A and B are shown apart, each in its own frame.
Chain A
Amino acid sequence: MIQQKPVKCWKSIGVFGDATCPELQEYHHCKHCPVYFDSARHFFNREIPNTFIDEWTKVVAQTKEEGELNELALIVFRVGREWFGINSKVLLEAVENHAPHYVPFRSNNIFRGLVNIKGELLLSFDLSTLTEAKETNEDENKSRMLILSTGGARYVFTVTEISGLVKINRSQILPPPVTLSRSGLSLSDGILVNEGTEISVLNEEKLAEFFENGLKG
């Protein structure tokens, strides 16, 4: 029983002493031995200071703060004029723009072709049909390719500009207006208003489905 005063055997026959304790055969180190373990608990066999009790009385009288459990990090990018966000968990990499290699009878306005990313051929897609936005003549230097990995497959698509990462709470995502049924919104989980900009939060599964359909067509 742990009420007894601890015998500091680890200092005499244990690993901190001459290591002759027979129990070491089984436990290898005193830190795994129940004797050592129980001795540590003597620390708690002391009277509680009153200040400690007072402090805790105050603490438990407070309501518990709700943690931000519903956090989501979005990578925000622009295609044409519209801003989109996607869960950063599915983002593998953002790379310089590469011209896709046309695949005869396969390439269309969604699936653009194959692209060589660091020696690996990946499928490249275009989101601009989604936004129905005409490509504006802007600074080409801002254009990047994003590589997504979802459902075991990887997809590359071109974006006009990457804004960066935004950390949000899922409750901040507002449902899309019911009167709007544009194809872009059908892929989205909702709208996020961030610093005055409306960001359509894309659902990675629906986006992957959109890409897969592009492959078939």
Chain B
Amino acid sequence: MLFLQFQAADNNFGISVDDIVEIIPPVNLKSIARAPAYVPGQFNYRGKLVPVIDISLLISGSRVKNLLSTRIILVKYQPAENREETIGLMCEQVMDIVEPEAEAFETPGYVAEQTPYLGKVIYHKNKIFQLVKTDDLLNEDLKKRLFSEKI
């Protein structure tokens, strides 16, 4: 399985490439009033409004830095059954695609209640990184608010 590697607050994370639609550089976002801080805004992605999640802020509490290595990863998201939406994940150091061995996957030692979207931990080339499950990124409340009229 292939994973796209990125960083949030100097820790490595990975997303399965199966979910990825496109990776684009940062764009100007239109902020959403009263949305949580980790939803910095939305933008026009090929004629469609797509909300963006600041993964760094969500996971580690520090805002994503606007560097040349920062990217918005557009992933498929299903807010409800038979509904396919796209969300953008803003991450740092989006540089590598890794293909870890099947036996490299380990269950994380600790799963915080607030981070149901963090999955297995992988050892790969002296680096440890954790998988992010995109389906569980948004909590029920946020899901309803972002895709309200579509559910």
Residues on A close to B: CB < 8 A? Answer: 1-3, 34, 41, 43-48, 52-54, 56-57, 59-64
Complex Cα distance, B44 from A63, in Å, reads 10
B67 near A63 (CB under 8 angstroms)? Answer: no
B10 near A61 (CB under 8 angstroms)? Answer: no
Residues on B close to A: CB < 8 A? Answer: 10, 24-28, 43-47, 66-70, 93, 95, 125
- Residue numbers in A under 8 Å from B26 (CB-CB): 48, 53, 56
- Residue numbers in A under 8 Å from B44 (CB-CB): 57, 60-61
Instruction: Across the interface, name the chain B residue whose C-beta is closest to A41.
Output: B95
A53 near B28 (CB under 8 angstroms)? Answer: yes
- Residue numbers in A under 8 Å from B67 (CB-CB): 44-48
Complex Cα distance, B25 from A59, in Å, reads 10
Task: Report B132 CB to chain A, min CB distance, Å.
Answer: 20
Nearest 5 Cβ contacts at the A-B interface: A44-B69, A57-B27, A61-B44, A44-B68, A57-B28
A2 near B68 (CB under 8 angstroms)? Answer: no
Instruction: Across the interface, name the chain A residue whose C-beta is closest to B12.
Output: A1
By secondary structure, the B interface counts as loop
Complex Cα distance, B70 from A56, in Å, reads 13
Task: Report B128 CB to chain A, min CB distance, Å.
Answer: 12
A60 near B27 (CB under 8 angstroms)? Answer: yes
In this complex, the member of A2, A44, A62 whose beta carbon has the largest number of chain B beta carbons within 10 angstroms is A44
Complex Cα distance, B15 from A103, in Å, reads 67
| Given A43-B68, A48-B25: A57 and B43 interface contact (C-beta under 8 Å) | yes
Contact residue among B24, B28, B69, B125 (Cβ-Cβ distance under 8 Å from A54): B28
A52 near B95 (CB under 8 angstroms)? Answer: no
Complex Cα distance, B68 from A67, in Å, reads 28
- Residue numbers in B under 8 Å from A48 (CB-CB): 25-26, 66-68, 70
Task: Report B25 CB to chain A, min CB distance, Å.
Answer: 5
24 A-B residue pairs with Cβ-Cβ distance under 8 Å, sorted by A, are: A2-B93, A3-B10, A41-B93, A41-B95, A43-B68, A44-B68, A44-B69, A45-B67, A45-B68, A47-B68, A48-B67, A48-B68, A52-B25, A53-B27, A53-B28, A54-B28, A56-B24, A56-B26, A56-B27, A57-B27, A60-B43, A61-B43, A61-B44, A61-B46
